[in-house]
Amino acid sequence: MKGRLITLEGGEGAGKSTLLAGLREHFARSGLDVVYTREPGGTPVGEAVRALVLDPAQRGLAAETELLLMFAARAQLVRDVLRPALVAGRWVLCDRFTDASYAYQGGGRGVDMVHIAELERLATEGLKPDLTLLLDLPVADGRARASQRGGADRIEAERDDFFERVRATYRARVQAEPRRFCVIDASRPADEVLRGAVAAIEALRAGETA
SS3 state of residue 77:
helix
Task: Quote the CA–CA distance of 126 and 176 in Å, as a whole number.
Answer: 17
CB of 149 to ligand TMP, least distance (A): 11
Q: Order of strands across the sheet with 181-185?
A: 34-38, 91-95, 4-10, 131-136, 181-185
Looking at the Cβ atoms of 71 and 91, the one nearer to ligand TMP is 71
Nearer to ligand TMP, 101 or 132 (CB): 101
What 8-state DSSP symbol labels residue 55?
-
- Please state the φ and ψ torsions of residue 186, each to the nearest 5 degrees: -80, 0
The residue of the chain with the least Cβ separation from ligand TMP equals: 104
Contact 103, 170 (CB under 8 A): yes
What is the nearest approach in angstroms of ligand TMP to the Cβ of residue 101?
4
Which residues bind to ligand TMP, rule: CB under 6 A? Answer: 39-40, 70, 95-96, 100-101, 104-105, 155
Q: Minimum distance between the CB of residue 129 and ligand TMP, rounded to whole angstroms?
A: 12
Task: Write down the least CB distance from residue 31 to ligand TMP, Å.
Answer: 27
**Rounded distance, CA 7 to CA 74, Å?**
13
CB of 195 to ligand TMP, least distance (A): 22
State which residue, 8 or 86, has the beta carbon closest to ligand TMP: 8
Beta bridge partners of 6: 93, 131
Nearer to ligand TMP, 5 or 155 (CB): 155
Q: Which is nearer to ligand TMP, 66 or 83 (CB)?
A: 66
